[in-house]
Amino acid sequence: MIEVNNISKFFGDVTAVEDLSFKIDKGEIVGMLGPNGAGKTTTMRVLTGYLQPDKGDVIVNGISIKKNPIEALKLIGYLPENNPLYKDMLVSEFLVFSAELKGLAGDNLIKALDYVSEATKIKNVFYRPIKELSKGYKQRVGIAAALIHKPEILILDEPTEGLDPTQRIEIRDLIKDLSGNHTVLISTHVLQEAESMCTRIIVISNGHKVADDAISNLKKENKGKRIIWFETEGSKVKETLKDLKGVEEVVFEEIGNRIRAKLLIANDTDIQPVLFDLAKKNDWKVWELAEKGHSLEEIFEQLTK
């Protein structure tokens, strides 16, 4: 659906994006994550034709965005980070204007208005001035404008930025609903949103891709490391676990009389039988022994630091 092939973008001596490549298949919701200044917005502007890459190309359903930008961009709907609304217009007027810019007219325009008002659930504000709407509804109108020509691909740059918690949930649910008919690429720095919406995430740091995988896979692996949680009660637990062979890092938490240890080990290390033997030998009471994936926050911090 989208192929990003080794794109680079420079602003004078500043490298915004360098040699970036990835693919997005039909029906995916892909999250693009990265700290501020990582290159997310620049990448999206290249994907949507607002910027030309200095190197590389973007292929949209087989169409080069460099060689044939008009045809490629017909397949894309884009909501920039700063939602470009004409706030003195009625919602209906703005969407008609957006549709006409995309070449829609007559019955096709009417069908498009019906589709986006239903898809984004804005029927109850359709004839209200945009300036009177809440931030959440303004975002819905922006998404409706991006959807007006029924693009196959929807690209949303920080669509929940500045929303309150209820509005964030509403926009997240809306995006998940839209994925049934559209491929979605969304940028965000809110990790919980990426986890709740996306089937896969791409992490960018300093203009380079540092990860590209399903969230579940990223949580299982962290540069070849695994996490074992071991909660036990007994004597000399900390001293014993600190010197345990195969443990690369251990963090302790005291919970009453119990010690909860977070052990970082290599993927090829089998530590659970050793912990069982230690518990039996030292007469420890075991409350928990489980392998758990890394949190998305931990992964993000380690990938982008």
> Could you give the domains of the chain?
2-219 (3.40.50.300), 221-304 (3.30.70.260)
Low-confidence ranges of the chain (pLDDT < 50): none
| Element spanning 72, H or E | helix 69-73
At residue 295, the pLDDT reads 67
For 12, phi then psi, to 5°, come to 65, -125
Task: Quickly list DSSP for 85-127.
Answer: --TTSBHHHHHHHHHHHTT--HHHHHHHHHHHHHHTT-GGGTT
Say what the pLDDT of residue 96 is.
97
The CA distance from 294 to 25, in Å, is: 26
Whole-number pLDDT of residue 232:
94
Sheet holding 247-255, edge to edge: 247-255, 258-266, 225-233, 285-292
Q: What is the pLDDT of residue 303?
A: 74
Helix (H, G, I), strand (E, B) or coil at 133: coil
pLDDT of residue 221: 60
What pLDDT score was predicted for residue 52?
Answer: 93
pLDDT of residue 220: 65
pLDDT for res 266: 80
Cβ atoms of 158 and 36 closer than 8 Å: no
Does pTM top 0.85 for this prediction? no
DSSP-derived letter for residue 254 is E
Residue 178: its pLDDT value, please?
A: 84
pLDDT at residue 224, as a whole number = 60
**Which pLDDT score is estimated for 223?**
55
What does each C-alpha distance from 55 to 24, 77, 175, 196, 228 come to in angstroms?
A: 20, 23, 31, 34, 44
Helix, strand, coil shares of the chain, percent, nearest 5, are 35, 30, 30
The pLDDT score that the predictor gives to residue 222 is 56
